[in-house]
Amino acid sequence: MSKENNYHHLAQKILELCGGKSNISSYTHCMTRLRITPYDESKADAQALRKLDGVLGVVEAETLQIILGTGVVNHVTAAFSKLVSAEEGADVKEAAAKKKADINRKNATPFKLFLRKIASIFIPLIPALVASGLITGITKAIIQAGWLSADSQIAIILTVIGSGLFTYLGILVGINASKEFGGTPALGALAGILIINPEIAKISLFGEELLPGRGGLIGVLFAAIFIAYTEQFIRRFIPQSLDIIVTPTVSLLITGIVTYVVFMPLGGFISDAIASGLLSILDIGGIAAGFILGATFLPLVVTGLHQGLTPMHMELINSIGNDPLLPILAMGGAGQVGAAFAVFVKTKKTTLRKAIAGGLPSGLLGIGEPLIFGVTLPLGRPVFNSMFRSWNRRRLSSLFSSSHHCDWCLRTAAIFSSPAFANHPVYRWALYFLRGRFFIDLCIRI
């Protein structure tokens, strides 16, 4: 059976065990999971789904999250989409509205809804972030190694290609945020442009000149969400014949004024507070802070709450140029890889070895769900071993995650997750230490 047939067969089995296409309210996917919202949750057999060959795990939250792994999830979702794409009848649509209301009342707490919307804003940007990050990181590594001059045309072209996303990231965030909160995506893009427009430098409010980009992604989120709600509110009072002209114009005008007077200063204050607060915690807390942050990350991944950290990571990079939090959290993933590799060496179960072989590449690239749900969590001991035995790695990361070394720390952890290598005096010694800890943990677990 070809791979495409395998994907189609798996999608068909998933659909059957979820109650058929008439029971599918909505579905989407992230890097590793097919997320399904059924009309009737009782018709979805989570236990049977877990036993399917190719399914690495199932998480029952506000949506049914089926862990398939990187790459596989794209193909299975495409096949799944073809199976459920038939036009639904009116009775099914009415049932969908009723079931959605029931789900909102029963499962969707405000906090869960907030995290769900945040994830929906940033998850679609991951492929672009990966591509831009890889190009930027590899370019910097080649330049620092002396293989390419920073002034050469090739280096300049590669730098421009890789940096484009980060220059205009606010526009993409604005599009997704406005769409997620019920607004027009194009107006969300304008909300992002309001923040990053270079012409902002000509504006002076309360005796101070505005700075382009001030407020960062936090300000963009505020502006995009505000313009979405403003658009919906204004549309209620505008005749249909004038809606296409009046609604977007008035929405943009109001949002622009509020953005420059409120959202940019407020977003800038919050961004500064996040950056300075985190750096202060790492400077003062040191080893203890690193241990606590690292040890709690895997439980966040298991519950899906780690998506709430995404805006914080992106805002740190946007405001200070690096992310001192990510390397500490990444140590939990390093422990997962070591534990899974140890199980691979020790176990004789073919299915388990197959699951590990499929999850290790994505684990090395910083995507841990396939290993967590397919290997370490079902076995029990490895996941706790990864959380607590890898504290030395977190201790090292926290020591170098101070405000003086956060750039090095980010790039050291990014050896696999994003190759933004650094030329730091202690870089090589730390890399040797991390490699040594990996093999020490491996030997201990074996």
CATH number where 62 lies: 3.30.1360.60
Is position 30 annotated as part of the catalytic site?
Answer: yes
Residue 276 lies in a domain: no
Most confident of 62-76, 326-340, 359-373, 432-446: 62-76
Query: What is the model's pLDDT at position 369?
Result: 64
Q: What is the pLDDT of residue 258?
A: 94
**Buried b vs exposed e over 9-42: b needs ≥16 C-beta within 10 Å?**
bbbebbbebbbeebbbbebebbbbbbbbbbbebe
Same domain (yes/no): 193, 320: no
Listed ranges 21-30, 299-308, 353-362; the one with the highest mean pLDDT:
21-30
Two tokens at 264? 């940019």
Residues 315 and 440 in one domain: yes
Contact between 187 and 181 (Cβ < 8 Å): no
Same structural domain, 225 and 249: yes
Give the tokens for residue 314: 């992106």
Domain annotation covers residue 289: no
Q: How far apart are CA 331 and CA 163, in angstroms?
A: 27
Q: Answer yes or no: do 166 and 199 share one domain.
A: yes
Q: Do 358 and 328 share a structural domain?
A: yes
Are 200 and 258 in a shared domain?
Answer: yes
Query: Could you tell me if residue 151 is inside a domain?
Result: yes
In a domain, 312, yes or no: yes
Summarize pLDDT for 273-303 with one digit per residue, the tens.
777 777 777 777 666 766 667 666 766 666 5
The rounded percent of the chain whose pLDDT value lies above 90 is: 13
Choice among 51-55, 111-115, 130-134, 428-432 with the minimum mean pLDDT: 428-432
Residue 118 falls within a domain, yes or no?
Answer: no
Q: For residue 415, is it within any domain?
A: yes
Average pLDDT over residues 109-122: 72
- Mean pLDDT across the chain: 74
User: Rounded to an integer, what distance in angstroms lies between the CA atom of residue 217 and that of residue 214?
Assistant: 9
| 145 and 92 in a common domain | no
- Rounded Cα distance between 210 and 375, Å, is 51
Q: Which of 83, 108, 133 is the last residue of a domain?
A: 108
Residue 291 CA, chain-centre distance (Å), reads 22
Q: How confident is the model at residue 246 (pLDDT cuts 50, 70, 90)?
A: very high
Q: Which of 30, 406, 409, 443 is catalytic?
A: 30
HEC readout, 73-123 = HHHHHHHHHHHCCCCCCHHHHHHHHHHHHHHHHHCCCHHHHHHHHHHHHHH
In a domain, 284, yes or no: no
- 211-216: average pLDDT: 81
What angle is formed at CA 432 by the lines to CA 412 and CA 360, rounded to 5 degrees? 65
- How far apart CA 98 and CA 93 sit, in angstroms, is 9
pLDDT given at position 384: 62
- pLDDT category at 186 given cuts 50, 70, 90 is very high
**Same domain (yes/no): 132, 102:** no
- The pLDDT tens digits for 375-387 are 776 666 666 665 5
Domain termination site, one of 236, 271, 306: 271
Tens of pLDDT along 155-170?
Answer: 899 989 988 887 888 8
Query: Does residue 319 sit in the same domain as residue 387?
Result: yes
Evaluate if residue 221 carries a pLDDT over 80: yes
Assign residue 86 a region (left: φ > 0; alpha: ψ between -120 and 50; beta: otherwise).
Answer: beta
- Higher per-residue confidence, 221 vs 70: 221
**pLDDT tens per residue, range 317-353:** 666 666 667 777 777 677 777 777 778 877 777 777 7
Q: pLDDT value at position 154?
A: 92
Split into its structural domains, the chain has a count of 3
Identify whether residues 130 and 267 lie together within a single domain.
Answer: yes
Residue 249 pLDDT > 90: yes
Q: Note whether 200 and 313 are same-domain residues.
A: no
pLDDT digits (tens, 9 = 90+) for 299-318: 666 655 566 666 676 667 66
Range of the domain at 81: 3-108
Alpha-carbon span 319 to 327, nearest angstrom: 17
> Rounded to whole angstroms, what are the CA distances from 148 to 60, 140, 144, 153?
50, 9, 8, 10
Residue 409, in any domain of the structure: yes
Among positive and negative, which fits the CA dihedral 341, 359, 140, 320?
A: negative
- pLDDT at position 310 is 67
> Residue 268: what pLDDT?
80
Residues 225 and 172 in one domain: yes
Q: Which of 65, 82, 108 is at the close of a domain?
A: 108
